[in-house]
Each structure stands twice: as structure tokens, then as C-alpha cells.
Amino acid sequence: MRRRGGGFRWPVMILFAVGAAIYYFMNQETVPFTERKQLRTMNVDQEMQLGLQSYQQILSDSNVLTDGPVVEVVQEIGARIARAAQAEDPGFEWAFNVIDSDQVNAFALPGGYTAVYTGLIPVAQNEDGLAVVMGHEVAHALAHHGAERMAQQNMQRIVGAGVAMGAGGMDYEAQRMVMGVFGGISQYGYALPFSRKHESEADYIGLILMARACYDPREAPRLWERMAAAGGATPPEFQSTHPSPETRISDFQTWMPEAVEIYNRNCPSDISL
């Protein structure tokens, strides 16, 4: 006769939940621009070291362009956006490179180590469009999203261990069910919305940066219309790490009055919007 397992061990789960809460509240930092509180345990020096190691590896495995018009434009946009971020810059070593690749993408690693793939250039179409993407990527670095993601994953592991130990006295099928439910909640109720929040925050910060750097912020929604057309079919937003292009365009329109006001205040009056 098959032995029945016990019930869920709630005291164990509560103990781990308290540990996760302490971990969360003892490691609070503030995101520049948005003033959002974030969980972060890694210091800037550690971020820069990890970012540089990854950057050097990516560049060594890639065809990096060293001169030409695209390189000059990317470095100029990068320098202007970095200057626009100066007040919030934690001491990053900004670097801007161009990688010859069909990828329609760019990235900025912790520490400010940034690269643009040449596949992005036709979709960006102009310097303002390129500034939208580069501002977004720089914003990820400024907001310490990589370090925050690592800290959040650690907290998920703490809670997950609590769930596993809490279910340890149950029979095998019940344990599988509990862990399956936890996995679904963790993925769709936490990890994916958390990633989309990072992307939206980087969109906002990047829009402010490009406006400060005197690039036309009105190009942002137009750029995402082109990105949507170039990207083809996408999964439903709740299954994605990124907001849908439609959501991003709507957000940009909401933030646009602030960005235009910053542009007009900081840029020459003869090109005010």
C-alpha cells in the first residue's frame, strides 16, 4: 500500500520568506532618474570588472570596425549621451564600439561598455533613431539593471529553496505539483514582469538622456514602429521579456512632453521642437 505524504510545512516556508524579506530590505538602492528603490548587492567596482570581462570576450569573438562613418557617428552619439548622464554617472569607463553583424541590436554592459551591431543601422535610419537605442542601452547600465537582476535571482532561489523544503514531506506527485505552481508563478508573475519593468525604465531614462544630448526625442515612437515592422511576429506580451512595440510607443507618447521640454531647455533655440 502506497504511503501518503504529509502536508506542506508552512513554518519552514515562513522562515525562508522572512530571510528573503530581510535580504531584500537590507540591500536597497535608488535608481537614478526614476528614484525607484531596487534590490542590489554588487558594488560598482564589481559591476565594472564583470562588464569589462564580458565586453573583452565579446569583442574578441566579433568583427569590430575600427574606422569609417558609422564608427564616427556611434562614438559621437555615445560621447554626447555619456555627457548627458554625467550627473548620474557612478564612474563608469564608457566605451562605444561597432560590431559588423546582421543583428538588429545593441548592448551596454555594466560599467558602460557599449556596442552597436551594424544590422541596427538601416532600421535606425538616422542619428536620432540610433540615439534612441543607444540611450536605452546606456540607461540599463546607469540603472544597474544587471546587478539588480542578479540580486533578484538570488532572492528567487531563497524562496524556491523554502518552497522545496516546505514540500519535502509531501508525496512525489504533490511535490511536483507544488514546484510546478511555484515555477509558473515565478516565471509569469515575477521574472517576466520584472524584465519588462527594466525595459520600460530604460526606455524612459534613454528618452531623457537623448533629449539632454540634443537628439530629437520624437524619433523614439517612430523608431519603434520601424522595429516592429522589422521584427515580425512576437509572442504575447505576458510571455515576453520585453514590452510589446505598441506598449513602448504608447509609453513614449506619454513621456514625450517632458522629453521635448528638456530638449527645448537644453538645446539651441533655433532648433527647438
Provide the domain count of the chain. 1
The answer to whether residue 265 is domain-embedded is yes
Q: What is the pLDDT of residue 173?
A: 82
Report the DSSP pairing between strands 95-99 and 113-117: parallel
Residue 184 lies inside a defined structural domain of this protein? yes
In 3D, which of 71, 130, 76 has the Cα closest to residue 106? 130
What pLDDT is stored for residue 233 in this prediction? 58
Host domain of residue 147: 27-271
pLDDT value of position 239: 62
Numbers of helices and strands, H then E, in the chain: 10, 6
pLDDT at 3: 45
pLDDT at residue 115 in the model:
97
Give one DSSP letter per residue of 150-186, joined into a string.
HHHHHHHHHHHHHHHHHTTTS-HHHHHHHHHHHHHHH
Is residue 216 one of the residues assigned to a domain?
yes
Q: Give the pLDDT score at 72.
A: 97
Q: Which residue's entry shows cell 537623448?
A: 210
- Please indicate, yes or no, if residue 223 is contained in any of the structural domains: yes
Task: Report d(CA 96, CA 113) in Å as an integer.
Answer: 7
Residue 2 lies in a domain: no
Residues serving a catalytic function are: 137
Residue 215: HSE in the Cβ half-sphere, 13 Å Cα cutoff:
27
Tell me, yes or no, whether 3 lies in a domain. no
Helix/strand/coil for 64: strand
Residue 7 lies in a domain: no
> Which residues of the chain fall below pLDDT 50?
1-3
pLDDT of residue 1: 39
In a domain, 5, yes or no: no
Kindly state the percentage of the chain with pLDDT values over 90. 62
